[in-house]
């Protein structure tokens, strides 16, 4: 595949035209970038972004329509605010907030979108290696029932 950082991008169906840019769910020019198409950037839940990071992605970004031009009214503004909040929450957990990004591009902005994704990937590459995802602490084993001896 590619030796670049593993990046997941959630991209609004109404923003950038991905058809000429993708091959097999990945960006043709950057195969380490997996794309997940969503009906609107506002549809993306912050837990999905955290989950992608927790499952080994080095970085995650969301791409919506240009600000002020969202087909679904304000999805891109909602997502931008959610990304800002999640970046603060990640920082409190000592995860570099630069691992999370928000982009806004229109249907015919393919070259600008690719340049922004390339810059995001290079920014991720420059960061120290991400700590391996923490697994949930194991539940303590139940105490064995003691038998009474007669």
Domain residue limits, the chain:
81-104+120-126
How far, in Å, CA of 55 to CA of 41, rounded?
21
Over residues 126-138, the pLDDT tens digits come to 998 766 545 444 4
Residues 6+ apart with CB under 8 A from 98: 59, 123, 124, 127
pLDDT level of residue 42 (50, 70, 90 thresholds): confident
Over residues 64-100, the pLDDT tens digits come to 988 777 777 777 788 889 999 999 999 998 889 999 9
pTM of the model: 0.82
Judge residue 51's burial from the number of C-beta atoms within 10 Å of its C-beta, 0-12 exposed, 13-18 middle, 19 or more buried.
middle
Over residues 11-40, the pLDDT tens digits come to 999 899 999 999 999 999 999 999 999 998
């Amino acid at each position: 595949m590619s030796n670049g950082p593993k990046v997941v991008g959630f991209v609004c169906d109404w923003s950038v035209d991905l058809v000429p840019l993708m091959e097999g769910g990945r960006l043709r020019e950057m195969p380490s970038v997996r794309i997940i198409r969503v009906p609107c950037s506002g549809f993306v839940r912050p837990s999905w972004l955290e989950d992608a990071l927790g499952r080994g992605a080095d970085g995650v970004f969301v791409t919506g329509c240009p600000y002020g031009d969202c087909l679904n009214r304000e999805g891109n503004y909602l997502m931008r605010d959610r990304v800002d909040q999640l970046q603060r929450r990640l920082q409190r957990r000592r995860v570099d907030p630069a691992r999370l990004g928000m982009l806004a591009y229109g249907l015919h902005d393919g070259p600008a979108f690719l340049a922004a994704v390339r810059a995001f990937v290079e920014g991720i590459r420059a960061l120290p290696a991400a700590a391996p995802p923490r697994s949930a602490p194991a539940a303590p084993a139940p105490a064995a029932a003691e038998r009474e001896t007669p």
